[in-house]
Structure 1
């Protein structure tokens, strides 16, 4: 029963962390970010002790909010950082706000001057979406130590830059650049959920996280009606459509072996609805095109892969991402353009860490017919670095075929 209780708290952590942080941030501000973080962690710890079997609160979010808010107030009183303890309203009479303030908080933080986009993204991934440091490290390609330092710096920077700023901003106050930052964040969150390396889930998909990114992107699109956001939504929907076929009987099914009959047609229709050719190309549009090409192809022959290669080259003119270079590298190998693939692989090796899993798998796949021994060594090293059972089994079963 204890494990079941822990499972309830764990699922609540991911669901409510960002909402709690945003609600508390809107009341206490950037001066108290550390206190807010500690209070939220304490509220989840208390829930582990208090939520007995069959006695879990009906409104878990409200329970956590009140406990966390009381905790923040107690910290402030202890540290005597306010002239009067009545500066904030008593929490006993406070209800958890119904409004989801996450998008508003993200936009508010995105507006902060003299804070780099990278630092904003890292801080928001942790505090609005409740991502762990390891997850952030995997999606940003930064070391965990660098992420801890960035978060610490972000707290100081936000305290300075948001001092006196009105949290109750209107959407008219948001610039194009700030919206672009939010799009990048939602893109990162979705990708983390869609290709999760968490050892705590049996699947490789954190569907809740994907749907959260989708929901916030929809609100962003409704508010600002940007073509880039619509294309981001299209990309999300193309990927979400494949979730029913991505894992079967606790085993990963590669894209090209998935049963298309099990794809979600509603999401596919929605993806094409959102897909809109922009006046100026953007990476979300091109990536959504690549996804649609793969999903509608009747043959995965060399002609198909050459079309995909053209799109990836356009993508790289818009975004110099090492992951996109890696995808192009794989596509070149599938089109039997091995010399080009190997040349690009050398470039990518200088941009990604040696232990990067997908870099290793693509490299092993390219060399499997010409440098068999080296390919096998790479696979052995990958298996040493992966603790996720479902991925280990997939690699072991497919190490002699395409990845």
Structure 2
């Protein structure tokens, strides 16, 4: 029984953390027109792993094992569906094209990473922007539809429809989905950066599951962003700013939760646990982002994260600077989440009543179903002594979150005030 549980845990981990890599490799071989079949084949490989590994043990390279099994499954399915044609010849041609693609100059000189290649492919201009991002999070990030809905502040049913339409559009285009040539890369860059931003955010605060953070997603977003920041075509100020933002935020990962797994607020964190090497690296990217005249949303977020990273204590944080940065950010990227963060900074500068007044104005902006909104309101209600309203806000947050660590955090807060 223990062996079976270990195998199930290994398979669950691989599904959660490596599905994007598997999709990327198989999509490069078989193409986007078979995306649904590729996802089915990966599921089949996981089912086979549960049976085989329980007897023979987990292989040395489980991801490669799963990819090979999925590839064999796809070959078998394609042969069955094409009995009247010599599909073996088509398969050999597919593999030959894939091998040639690997040798093409732009695959070596532009971006060699399968996952980054797949991100750019998903961000095809023929697909609507929101669909690009949702599709990429699904295929590359391994997000489920609930997690994507959380990232978009949307209903899961809406995301279901977006993904169906995006996959249908891919099949209609019937184009070769690879890294575009250098002159096309910049036009797709913003969508790619948004994907990486949401990928990191999901890692920094997981939508669901037992853990507060998914470090693998954070570090994968950092790794891919660094590749972009080192490439001559995509090495632009906003890419460096995004890399800086990620590094500043990731420097706090070790202090994000207590030993019992309950989240640790920024005001409570042990700053000796912060990764100061990562902060220094973030400062290097932040300085590089200052080249030229561009001021992007990522510059402003990196500026905010930088102030948190270099402040000696929570009390010595320059909240006036942070409030100003959020106001400038709202001017170029108005959104309810930016407004929520601005309200928190306003509360630190002008007091909790000012923050609560701002929060009340956000209820009509889609914040009612966003649990961080209710946690923020609860904190300011506690500061004003209105524990009954704080308890109501905590209860709303508790109902809305699917993350077990956050649930423990909220319950602990409720115990203190009820």
Instruction: Judge same fold: TM > 0.5, yes or no.
Output: yes
* Contact 2:297-2:333 at 8 Å conserved across structures: yes
Corresponding position: 1:395 with 2:407? no
Q: Deviations over 1:135-169 (max 9, x none)?
A: 111111111111111111011111122x2x34454
C-alpha root-mean-square deviation of aligned residues, in Å?
Answer: 2.8
More displaced 10-residue stretch of structure 1: 167-176 or 249-258 = 167-176
Q: 1:107 to 1:129 in 2, by over 3 A?
A: same
Corresponding position: 1:129 with 2:117? no
SS in 1 for 2:213: coil
Q: 1:239 to 1:152 in 2, by over 3 A?
A: same
CA distance in 2: counterparts of 1:65 and 1:90, whole angstroms: 19
SS in 1 for 2:208: coil
* Contact 1:238-1:267 at 8 Å conserved across structures: yes
Query: Partner of 2:344 in structure 1?
Result: 330
CA distance in 1: counterparts of 2:146 and 2:226, whole angstroms: 28
Q: Deviations over 1:68-127 (max 9, x none)?
A: 1122222223333983321113999999x9x641111111221342x1110011111011
* Contact 1:112-1:158 at 8 Å conserved across structures: no
SS in 2 for 1:252: coil
Counterpart selection for 2:390 from 361, 365, 375:
375
CA distance in 1: counterparts of 2:386 and 2:25, whole angstroms: 56
* Contact 1:111-1:174 at 8 Å conserved across structures: no
CA distance in 2: counterparts of 1:249 and 1:81, whole angstroms: 58
1:59 deviates by 2.0
- Structure 2 residues without counterparts, runs of 5 or longer: 103-111
Counterpart selection for 2:165 from 153, 156, 161:
153
Query: Partner of 2:27 in structure 1?
Result: 25
Q: Deviations over 1:180-211 (max 9, x none)?
A: 11000000000000111332x3x311001111
1:343 deviates by 4.0
CA distance in 1: counterparts of 2:303 and 2:8, whole angstroms: 42
Q: Deviations over 1:210-251 (max 9, x none)?
A: 111111111112222111111111011111111111123123
SS in 2 for 1:270: helix
CA distance in 2: counterparts of 1:73 and 1:54, whole angstroms: 24
Corresponding position: 1:272 with 2:287? no
CA distance in 2: counterparts of 1:283 and 1:68, whole angstroms: 40
Length-normalised TM-score, structure 1? 0.90
Q: 1:119 to 1:84 in 2, by over 3 A?
A: same
Length-normalised TM-score, structure 2? 0.87
Q: 1:235 to 1:81 in 2, by over 3 A?
A: farther
Query: Partner of 1:362 in structure 2?
Result: 376
